[in-house]
Amino acid sequence: MVSHHVVYQLVLFALIWLFVILPLTRPKPGVSAPATLVEPEPLTPRRPRSNEPKPFEGLTQKPHCALCERDTASPKVPPPVPPDPMPPTNRRPRAIDTSLHFCPHAGCDYRGWLGLGNLRANGHPSGGPWRQFHCTSCKGYFLETHGTIFHGKHAEVERIVRVVACLAEGLGIRATARVFEVDANTVWHWLVEAAEQLRAFSAYFLCDLHLEQLQLDELYAVLRALKAGEISEDTAIKRLERSPSWVWTVMDPRSKLLVVVDVGTRTLAMAQRVVHQVTHVLAPGCVPLFLTDGLKEYAMALLTHFGQWMHPERRQDKGPRPKPRWMPLPELLYAQVVKSYRRRRIVGVKHRVVFGTQLAIEQVLAAWGWTINTAFVERLNLDIRQCVRCARAKRACGISWRYSMCITISCYPTPACARRSPNRSQPTAGAPPRCGGRARPRWRPD
């Protein structure tokens, strides 16, 4: 058993250490140990963020375009060989000039060719207002109105023209039918035929254009599409499905020429379709300056049709060779006008160069004293909204307004260069027989 003297000694030692030795070992408050100076590490400055866009590195695959693939799949038809002109006869010369007409029959060797002496005027059948022509090659007869809206119509020409003009000005189908005392279905058929003929005429007349710049924009409209095969023609005017659509326009600001007009949704496929139509209108090798709004689908569509495969340079001596990239053409210039909105009001406008350089774009616009803008095509959209009823109405409109829009657009923005007398010396082979029975050459803005 431990003695109590030992316990007393241990308790005494603990008290002495706690109250005497421990306070002596603590440092005094006024005295501090000398601290070693440590040099602070220098702060690495942050890299400033550049506002300039990064260079386009290219795509490993060519973007998809359904129309381009369809054109590539279909074989190209070789140009037809013109037939020999008809030898002159010993009869007295004809008083009626037939050099501006061609034979529309499919089995005729002279179909689509002008001024070859195969046509003869054959008077007015049954005392009608239109002249009849006779082809000495295929022995066929046709009226001079073949392929036009007036072919096979018993109505007066002035009435048909006024009906189409009223529809183009925004008057309804039924209202026009009541004014001119004709059936509504008849007015609808006239409108469809006139729009299709104008579309074919524009597609045939506009080609090989040398343009310096183009402005592209889209306009929201309320249209209704007809369900094909589900309703009859009598109920087509009453029952039409409502669907929001966009009117896509492309124009040349210098000549005020409306190059492309199309109606569809605001998607990449529609942008590809519009740019594809632009490439068919431009001359081979012509790459104009493109100015659009901030829609990103335009860049991909332009890259699809104005691009090429390029092999990037190797960064290392060893390793696999880099894959080829789909890059824009060196002469392609494209800029966007990006607008900022707040409460449906424009609060800011920025210019963004997508393809090319700022200096190259300014040099193209400096020839006319312009800057990067889309004012011309926006003014055109304002005119469309004011003149075409379906573009300004907040309610649903009929499918015929789609054709009325094409007629109105094709009429009023025609530039002065389009009204020049074209050169008619060259024959036109394979011309569509929907242009008044005559093949017209194509005009150019320059």
Check if the beta carbon of residue 204 is closer than 8 Å to that of residue 377.
no
More confident residue, 59 or 44: 59
Q: What is the average per-residue pLDDT within 254-268?
A: 88
Residue 302 binned pLDDT confidence (cut-offs 50, 70, 90): very high
Q: For residue range 168-182, list pLDDT tens digits in order.
A: 777 888 899 999 999
Does any domain span residue 295? yes
Does any domain span residue 16? no
Q: Tell me if residue 36 falls in helix, strand or coil.
A: coil
Phi, psi of 12, deg, nearest 5: -65, -40
Q: What is the average per-residue pLDDT within 4-11?
A: 75
| 8-state DSSP, 359 | H
Does any domain span residue 189? no
Q: How far is 102 from 104, CA to CA, in rounded Å?
A: 6
**In this model, does residue 395 exceed pLDDT 80?**
no
Residue 299 binned pLDDT confidence (cut-offs 50, 70, 90): very high
Residue-level pLDDT at 443: 41
Does any domain span residue 371? yes
Q: What is the value of pTM for the model shown?
A: 0.70
| Host domain of residue 304 | 207-227+237-309+324-398
More confident residue, 160 or 22: 160
User: Domains in the chain: how many in total?
Assistant: 1
Does any domain span residue 277? yes
Residue-level pLDDT at 244: 62
Percent of the chain with pLDDT over 90: 27
Q: For residue range 32-47, list pLDDT tens digits in order.
A: 555 566 667 777 777 7
Q: For residue range 315-369, list pLDDT tens digits in order.
A: 777 878 888 999 999 999 999 999 998 887 889 999 999 999 999 999 999 998 9
| Angle of CA points 211, 213, 218, to nearest 5° | 115
Q: Tell me if residue 173 falls in helix, strand or coil.
A: helix
Q: What is the average per-residue pLDDT within 415-419?
A: 35
Does any domain span residue 244? yes
Q: What is the average per-residue pLDDT within 76-92?
A: 82
**In this model, does residue 126 exceed pLDDT 60?**
yes
Q: What is the average per-residue pLDDT within 252-257?
A: 90
Does any domain span residue 287? yes
Residue-level pLDDT at 426: 37
CATH of the domain at 352: 3.30.420
Residue 212 binned pLDDT confidence (cut-offs 50, 70, 90): very high
Q: What is the residue-averaged pLDDT of the chain?
A: 77
Does any domain span residue 100? no
Residue from 250, 247, 339 nearest 290 by CA: 250
Highest mean pLDDT: which of 44-58, 214-228, 311-325, 422-436? 311-325
Output the six-digit token pair for 68. 């381009």
DSSP bridge pairs for 94: none
**In this model, does residue 274 exceed pLDDT 90?**
yes
Highest mean pLDDT: which of 93-97, 256-260, 352-356? 352-356
